[in-house]
Amino acid sequence: MLFEELFLEKADLQKFQMFRVLKSIGANSMTINDISDRLNLSYQQTYNTFQDLIRDIRVLDPQLALDRHDLLSQHTFRTSLERYRLFLLEQSLVFQFVDYLLQASLPTVGDFCERHFVSKSTLLRKSAPLKHLMAKYNLRFSYSSMQIIGDEANIRFFLFIVYWIGFHGIKWPFRNFTSGAVQQSFFTDNPQNDAIIRLQQTLLLGIIRLRIDHRALMHNNPMITNLTQHNPRFEQLTFSKKLFPNLTAKNRQYETRFFFFAQLSLISSAIDNKRRMRELRAFLEAEDSATWHFTQSLLNHIATVYHVKITSTNEPTLVYNIVRVLITATILQTSYPKMLDFYHEDLSGFKQTKLYQTIHSYFEQPIIQQSYPQLMADRQQTIIHLCYLLQPRLHRFEDQKVVQIWLIAENNDLLTTELQRLLEHLQIARIIQPPAKITAADLILSTIDTESPLMQELATYGIPMLHWNLEANDSDFFDLYSKIRQLYAKKMIP
């Protein structure tokens, strides 16, 4: 939940965390004591936070009729988690500062502080966590010139991710022009039927337009030119003069090339990736692309270690995402903002995995470093990103990373059959079979009450335990899955 931690103050973050808990399955049966246990807050802190949350919900849902006997029901919290996050984000001083830098025509630190009734020192203190993350990408705030300083591509990547996560298609974030105006200028010549891509393209174009309005322009990048030259998809892309009316022909060409590259790197959809991979592969093969040769060589290396074949035919989405990462690393040649950076604070735990060692050893081969120097500039981050993509596909070959479950339960027809079926189909967990010993388990799951003599004896092993009710409902299944996911994440990223 790093995104919220970057932008929200402590009180708002606690409200958001509480709202997340209340939106979860089984929240109807919760009490204030249950919530305080989940959030590690005192009863009084939980009660006060809950009252503040209710006030926010009344603002978001004015027609809501609250019954004091039914406050913790799902009827009270009809607002989506994303809408509430946006509600809090728009009140965040840190986000308002980023938004001010992007949208204000003549920004000054004095004007911003006066508008929001804060001192410059308060602004500096509250924006510290975000500045720390931005430093990874060699980006920083300048309070004298009131702009974000750094590579323009990284600035645009950063802004796109912040606004996409924050607004996520709920509303249009920019004041000086409408989303309709952007869409009419672009989609008339570039039809797009995929709704999620259309939303992302519109947002990206809006950010580009605002950066151009501030005279923050893209310059010629030979690497991007290599991606666009002789590329049939790029040749189909049209940037009308209406979209960016004040650009010279040369600058419009640079901006068009950047947009093409940025949408390949940043914009994604869950559907039609087989076609995208097929088109991208055809282009890369026609150009005898070093990136494509590297991709194939890397996947062949992984195949020899894991004895599994990963190709653009049998895993089009996975290979497409790998190629996107490698193209981005090749073009930007530095650490750059990634969506996963805003969801996972630290992925360095991957360095302890066999997968990381496998990919790292491949990158460190002298012949690879000599053949593909363009991929070596920020290879540590590239390797971790590749691990993030490949791990869900390869984790079952690393048994030590799967959650091992010691099951104590009757074989009682439908009462436990659904449980066993769930565990059999969860790729991140498996039931330990004899002759394995209980000490190999990560979780003891039992239909016997945890207070029974048997379970008290097993508790001495120090292994997490979960009681399974024979008359389990949806909430029980959700709690089990959540526990397994938590244990799995801990094993994958220590």
| 288 and 386 both lie in a single domain | yes
- Distance from C-alpha of 16 to C-alpha of 5, rounded to nearest angstrom: 10
Task: Please give the tally of structural domains in the chain.
Answer: 4
- Where among 89, 108, 137 does a domain terminate? 89
| 174 and 103 both lie in a single domain | yes
| 105 and 206 both lie in a single domain | yes
| 388 and 415 both lie in a single domain | no
Retrieve residue 444's tokens.
């003891």
Global pTM value: 0.86
| 285 and 258 both lie in a single domain | no
Question: What is the pLDDT tens value at each position of the chain, 494 positions in all?
Answer: 589 999 999 999 999 998 888 877 555 667 788 888 888 889 999 989 989 998 998 898 887 766 555 566 656 677 888 899 999 999 999 999 999 999 999 999 999 999 999 999 999 999 999 999 999 999 999 999 999 999 999 999 999 999 999 999 999 999 999 999 999 999 999 999 889 999 999 999 999 999 999 999 999 999 999 999 999 999 999 988 888 888 999 999 999 999 999 999 999 888 888 999 999 999 999 999 999 999 999 999 999 998 888 999 999 999 999 999 999 999 999 999 999 899 876 777 788 888 999 999 999 999 999 999 999 989 999 999 999 899 878 865 555 678 999 988 876 555 677 788 888 888 788 888 778 889 999 999 988 877 788 888 889 999 999 988 777 777 788 888 889 988 987 876 65
373: preceding bond cis by omega (within 30 degrees): no
| 243 and 277 both lie in a single domain | no
| 172 and 103 both lie in a single domain | yes
State how far the alpha carbon of 194 is from the alpha carbons of 187, 257, 399, in Å.
Answer: 12, 21, 38
- Where among 45, 68, 89 does a domain terminate? 89
| 34 and 118 both lie in a single domain | no
Q: Which residue has 């012949």 as its token pair?
A: 367
Range(s) of the domain holding residue 465: 402-492
| 83 and 104 both lie in a single domain | no
Question: Hey, how many other C-beta atoms are within 10 angstroms of the C-beta on 188?
Answer: 11
| 68 and 125 both lie in a single domain | no
| 248 and 277 both lie in a single domain | no
- Where among 73, 89, 105 does a domain terminate? 89
Please answer whether residues 139 and 149 qualify as being in contact, where contact means their C-beta atoms are separated by less than 8 angstroms.
yes
Query: What per-residue string of b and e applies to 268-295 under the rule 16 or more CB within 10 Å gives b?
Result: beeeebeebbeebbebbeeeebbbbebb
Q: What is the DSSP string of 69-96?
A: GGTTSTTTT-S-HHHHHHHHHTT-HHHH
> Three-class SS string for 181-249?
HHHHHHHCCCCCCCHHHHHHHHHHHHHHHHHHHCCCCCCCCHHHHHHHCCCHHHHCCCCCCCCCCCCCH
State how far the alpha carbon of 209 is from the alpha carbons of 140, 148, 267, 422, in Å.
Answer: 21, 16, 17, 49
| 76 and 221 both lie in a single domain | no
